[in-house]
């Protein structure tokens, strides 16, 4: 076998590994309470930082919440709820806020991914948001590679001004994901995908 043949085999093996990771990753919503090693979390963030961005602006930053640090997100949920149901008061309000705060404890690690647009006149906001979202996908794939479970959560509370205030974001910054991360406590669901041929048009010369 020639050096060229070995090189081609290596390339094919790498391709299979990447494609298997893309097809094998699932959203895992039930996670064990076990802590995730800091060095693994740092490796996931490093993978996220290799996402593509126009003009290499790298328009992302992350807030990693573990242990009591998750109360930051819990308080954000509570503040959003309090703003949305001003008619509630007393014990009824306190119970509602308690339920909102515990949402942050559904995983041992929660990572807030933030689009932080670059101070570059060439930067386009939509492209900056897309780059930050691609960074999240990198992080999810890396988590899968480490045998971790993760789910990308968002929803209306994430976009609420009170949540933005809780995380002390600049006016031009936006939350793009709350990534709940940990060791899986469930079997990954079977994949369901519409054939890509149903969503593809070829334009050929």
Which residues sit opposite 61 in a β-bridge? 114
CA distances to 76, 81, 204 from 101, in Å: 8, 10, 54
Contact at 8 Å (CB) between 149 and 183? yes
**Do the annotations mark residue 25 as ligand-binding?**
yes
The model's pLDDT over 42-55, given as tens digits with 9 standing for 90+, comes to 999 999 999 999 99
- Per-residue pLDDT at 5 exceeds 80: no
**141-168: average pLDDT:** 97
Those residues whose C-beta lies under 8 Å from the C-beta of residue 35, and which sit 6 or more positions away, are 66, 108
**Do the annotations mark residue 153 as ligand-binding?**
yes
**Do the annotations mark residue 26 as ligand-binding?**
yes
**Do the annotations mark residue 116 as ligand-binding?**
no
Q: How far apart are CA 202 and CA 109, in angstroms?
A: 43
Which of the pair, 81 or 2, is modelled with greater confidence? Answer: 81
**15-32: average pLDDT:** 88
**Do the annotations mark residue 54 as ligand-binding?**
yes
**DSSP three-state, residue 153:** strand
pTM metric for this prediction: 0.90
Domain at 28-65+107-185: CATH architecture: 3-Layer(aba) Sandwich (3.40)
Torsion of CA 28, 32, 35, 37, to 10 degrees: -40
The model's pLDDT over 75-114, given as tens digits with 9 standing for 90+, comes to 999 999 999 999 988 999 999 999 999 999 999 999 999 9
């Amino acid at each position: 076998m020639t050096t060229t043949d070995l090189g081609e085999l290596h390339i094919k093996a790498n391709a299979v590994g990447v494609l298997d990771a893309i097809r094998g990753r699932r959203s895992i919503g039930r996670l064990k309470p076990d802590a995730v090693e800091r060095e693994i979390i740092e490796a996931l963030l490093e993978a996220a930082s290799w996402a593509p961005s126009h003009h290499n602006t790298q328009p992302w930053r992350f807030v990693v919440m573990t242990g009591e640090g998750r109360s930051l997100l819990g308080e954000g949920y509570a503040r959003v709820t309090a703003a949305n149901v001003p008619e509630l008061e007393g014990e009824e309000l306190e119970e509602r806020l308690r339920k909102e705060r515990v949402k942050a404890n559904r995983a041992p690690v929660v990572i807030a991914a933030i689009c932080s647009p670059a101070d570059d006149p060439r930067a386009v906001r939509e492209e900056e948001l897309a780059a930050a979202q691609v960074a999240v996908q990198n992080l999810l794939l890396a988590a899968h590679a480490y045998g971790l479970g993760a789910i990308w959560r968002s929803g209306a509370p994430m976009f609420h001004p009170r949540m933005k205030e809780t995380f002390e974001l600049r006016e031009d910054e936006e939350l793009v994901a709350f990534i709940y991360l940990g060791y899986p406590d469930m079997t990954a669901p079977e994949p369901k995908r519409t054939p890509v041929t149903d969503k593809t048009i070829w334009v050929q010369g």
